[in-house]
Structure 1
Amino acid sequence: GMLNFFPAANLHGGDICAHCLFLVQLMPVVAYNLSKVLVIHAYPYEKMLKLCEESFSRAKEEFLLSKDNDFEYNLDFKKAENFFFKKIIDITRKVETGSKFWKDISITLYYFINGNKSGSQDIDIIHIPNSVLRFIAFAGEVDIKGWKNIVKRGWSTSKKKSFEELEKKYSNEVYQRLLNDENILEFFYDKQEKKVNCKWNLLKFYCLEVLKLEEKVLSFIKEVGDRIVETIEKLEDNKLKQVVRELENSTKLYQFENFFVRVEKIRQQKGIPNPLLTFEEFARLLTSYGEDINMSWKVVKNLLLFRIYEKLHDRLSSSSELEEDSFEYEGG
């Protein structure tokens, strides 16, 4: 504990819990009873009232029911961010302004351990970037199914559990990356199933608002993806999948560059007018996101794979593994 001299002006102070004192500084405040105690602090304050509505109603319910029996309400979430992001989507789908409700709002989560029994006094402080907040709200508003597909890929557990069960018990890599300002583009598609996990407009919002990609750059990458599709769709199924695998397996910059050379050769063989890329476009493609070229080309790669899977999923998923393993590309 720590000495608190304020309540009675006692020279000796009062021995109280330092975390309790800190909690009081956040008033007016409402706490959610998860596996720990979650306090959500938001500004402007009228937004905070919306975040606290459920807790108010649960407190009233507990008060009424506790008169007749031993009632204790517990939301049973182990991870504060899982509960919070679910709440953001729930509120967004109810308010008239939708995802715009979260514009220009600052939110911080304080996750306390109740140490009355164990004596442990820990606190996790989680700042929610506004761009991430608006992205998740937008996802819940325009493509909730796609968003759940993305989030599902963030759980490493192989246990067959429902989305709701996983959400309550396990940490999620997608959430962690968003909070740590790390890229989540690879979660927008499923490389094994050769399919996209969401609509293009959700990917677009993420790129523009979270990654801060310029819209003209994103449009250019999308156009390049369409040119690639225009070229490789003329191949037989087994050859088509082989070429796409070259892009999937590109872990080095030179491998990524070689993919474009091969697609250009296919383009020439098929008599498609106009080159895949001019020299200026190719240079732009490699340096269009950020100053770090190692980061830039990987962002482009993920966006191109999304576009290819979006357009050619049926053909890619129908190609047999036997055919693709036995085929050796002839383009050199």
Structure 2
Amino acid sequence: MLIYQYTGNPFTDGGIWAICEWAEKKNPKELEIEDIKRSISDIIPIYLTEAWGKNLFSVFPNNAVTNPSIKDKEKRLKQFFEELVSQVEPLQDAGNCISCGRRDVKALRNKSEIPLIGSGSLINFFPSGQSGGDYCPACTLAVQFSPFVSYACGKLLLIHSNSEKVMHYWAEKSIKDIRRQISVNSYSGCFDEGYKNPVNALFHIIEDIILEYDERWVEENPSINMYHFTNYNQGPDLDIYRVPTPVFRFLAYVKQLDQSSEWMKIVRRGYFNWDKIKEGDEYKNRGNSVYINLLKGHSIVKYFIDKKTRHVYGDWELIEFYLKEVRNMGSKRLDTLKKVGDSISEYIKDTQNIKRLNQLEMASNFASFRNQLRFIEIDRIKRGYKDSLFSLEDFMEDLFPEGNIGWRETQDLLLFRIYENLHNWLVAQDSLKSELISNEEEETGLLEEE
């Protein structure tokens, strides 16, 4: 009989995948009632350890483990699981369970059984104003396993995705840690890698999955949500972080291009006060504006370039994919930006006019930057260049499609291409170095969110 399949409920699905990995089944549809019973016999002694008991206060307050008035916790927990198992039914065509929608509810559930649904007489926390949550026994049972795939991060962090691959690999990593705890007879609770900053933890988890498991991740297109929560009695709380699918595809493309080391350099530039980080793992809990901007849909182009050293991180192929995939920039505009950047690079190298590069860098407003492009074009005409730097259409539609709004990104992209083309040449030009003005202003504004 078919007991479980994807529900869309993060706690239910997390628990289903935890059972699946514990039972060493590749797919939730393969789970049978005997797999669930064996998993229950394993979970009880784990939950009764001190470390796991502490975690359960944030997931199932006042349950058999966390309620101090219950003396024989093992017996009560076993009874609770046995009752649920005895009521498990296969999936039907329809049902009133708010999790799976394909089985009927036997009893209303409260926050000691289902996280974040309210408690007792506080019916305003329940759907339809009733004193409990409509969960069938099978879904309620699955939720009891959700701590197995929760991640310690100050509060607890639960990853949820519509991708079976993401859920499978994340559950595999989490279960592997639990088996390690068992093998060394030292229990530490939910998977803990020392992160307290949920955004950093989220990207760490995603990037680890992409790097560790050999899949065609660029084609996966998953939806990934992270629930940073506590169900603690004194102050239940929930923050939800959504990872846009294009961001995941970009991170996967970083691996495909073998640009992971360059990407890590870009990420490092986003940490607040990186120079003050003294210990190896201290960065884990520093805010990172690269990650924050990716979640907010803001540009991270400026982190690809170091104006102070006139150095780029990655190459045009990497930043182009970011702009297409994440920023939804059209190919025509990208081609124009690349062409103009190449033309300016050629002009600077031919004329050895380093001051013009300084002026492009130091332009602090749209009018000033636009004038520098005009001066370059005038000089190119005087010197007999046959092709124009750009057409009127290029200027209006591709370089500055929004006029003075967003001109900074155009400046950064042109400088990226110029630095990519000319960095080694600039380093070698000892006779021209005196004309270069060190650009200090870039560093002061680098970590400000756009």
Give the TM-score taking structure 1 as reference length: 0.81
Give the equivalent residue in structure 2 for 1:302.
412
What residue number does 1:223 align with? Answer: 339
Unaligned runs of 5+ in 2: 1-59, 63-103, 119-132, 134-138, 438-450
One-letter amino acid of the counterpart of residue 130, structure 1: T
Counterparts of 1:164 and 1:136, CA distance in 2: 24
After superposition, residues 154-173 of structure 1 pair within 5 angstroms as 154-159=270-275, 161=277, 165-173=281-289
Q: What is aligned with 1:264? A: 377
Identity %: 28
Contact 2:358 2:436 (C-alpha < 8 Å) held by counterparts: no
Over 3 Å counting, the alpha-carbon distance change for 1:303 and 1:34 in structure 2 is same
* Contact persistence 2:111–2:117 (CA under 8 A): no
- Alignment partners' CA distance in 2, 1:323 and 1:251: 20
**Quick one: distance in 1 between partners of 2:255 and 2:278?**
18
Q: Supply the distance in 2 between the matched residues of 1:267 and 1:308 (Cα, whole angstroms).
A: 17
Do residues 134 (structure 1) and 249 (structure 2) align? yes
**Equivalent-residue separation in structure 2 for 1:179 and 1:40 (angstroms):** 15
- Aligned counterpart, 1:328: none
Q: Secondary structure at the match of 1:97?
A: coil
2:323 aligned to 207, 220, 230, which one? Answer: 207
Matched, 1:110 2:227: yes
Counterpart AA for 1:31: S
Per the TM alignment, residue 274 of structure 1 is displaced from its structure 2 partner at its CA by 2.5
Q: Match of 2:209?
A: 91
Q: Do the aligned residues in 1 keep the contact of 2:333 with 2:399 (CA within 8 Å)? A: no
**Match 1:79 to one of 197, 207, 216:** 197
Secondary structure (helix, strand or coil) at the match of 2:228 reads: strand
Deviation at 1:190, TM superposition (A): 0.7
Q: Check whether the contact 1:42–1:107 (CA below 8 A) recurs between aligned residues.
A: yes
Assess, with a 3 A threshold, how the Cα gap between structure 1 residues 163 and 75 changes in structure 2: closer, same or farther.
same
Rounded to whole Å, the distance in 2 between the matches of 1:15 and 1:280 is 61
Counterpart AA for 2:150? A
Residue 114 of structure 1 and its aligned partner are, at CA, apart by: 6.6
Task: Determine the C-alpha separation between the residues in 1 that align with 2:290 and 2:360.
Answer: 23
1:90 Cα deviation from its structure 2 partner: 2.3
Q: Contact 2:302/2:409 (CA < 8 Å) preserved in 1?
A: no
Aligned mates of 2:373, 2:279 — CA distance in 1: 39
| Of 237, 261, 280, the match for 1:122 | 237
Residue 187 of structure 1 and its aligned partner are, at CA, apart by 0.7
Are residues 70 and 55 of structure 1, via their aligned partners in 2, closer, same or farther at CA, if it must alter by over 3 Å? Answer: closer
Aligned counterparts of 2:176 and 2:169: Cα–Cα separation in 1: 12
Alpha-carbon distance, 1:45 to partner: 3.8
1:40 corresponds to:
159
Which residue identity is paired with 1:53?
E
Q: 1:93 aligns to what SS in structure 2? A: helix
SS at match of 1:123: strand
2:195 partner SS: coil
Instruction: Name the SS of the counterpart of 1:78 in structure 2.
Output: coil
Cα 1:246/1:310, change in 2 over 3 Å: same
1:9, 1:247 → 2: CA distance?
Answer: 69
Is 1:155–1:172's contact at 8 Å kept on the other side of the alignment? yes
Distance apart, 1:225 and its partner CA: 0.8
In structure 2, the residue matched to 1:314 is 424
Q: Using the TM superposition, give the Cα deviation of residue 52 of structure 1 relative to its aligned residue in structure 2, in angstroms.
A: 1.9
Among 61, 70, 74, the alignment partner of 2:180 is: 61
Task: For 1:100 and 1:86, locate their aligned partners in 2 and report how far apart those are by CA, in whole Å.
Answer: 18
> Secondary structure of the residue that 2:351 maps to in structure 1?
coil
TM (normalized to structure 2)? 0.61
Paired residues, number:
312
The 3 A distance-change label for structure 1 pair 324 and 75 is closer
For residues 101-141 of structure 1, give each alpha carbon's deviation from its aligned partner in whole angstroms, at most 9, with x where no partner exists. Answer: 532x211101124747xx33222110111111111222233
Distance 1:276 1:46 in 2: 47
Shift of 1:164: 5.9
CA deviation after TM superposition for structure 1 residue 200, in Å: 1.5
Are residues 286 and 210 of structure 1, via their aligned partners in 2, closer, same or farther at CA, if it must alter by over 3 Å? same
Give the whole-Å Cα distance in 2 for the aligned partners of 1:294 and 1:79: 36
Query: Residue 254 and residue 63 in structure 1: after superposition, are their counterparts in 2 closer, same or farther (change >3 A)?
Result: same
Give the CA deviation at 1:316.
3.5
- Say if 1:282 and 1:100 are closer, same or farther in 2 by CA, change over 3 A: closer
Contact 2:195 2:201 in 1 (8 A): yes
- 2:416 is paired with a residue of what secondary structure? helix
* SS of residue matched to 2:262: helix
More off after superposition, 300-309 vs 119-128? 119-128
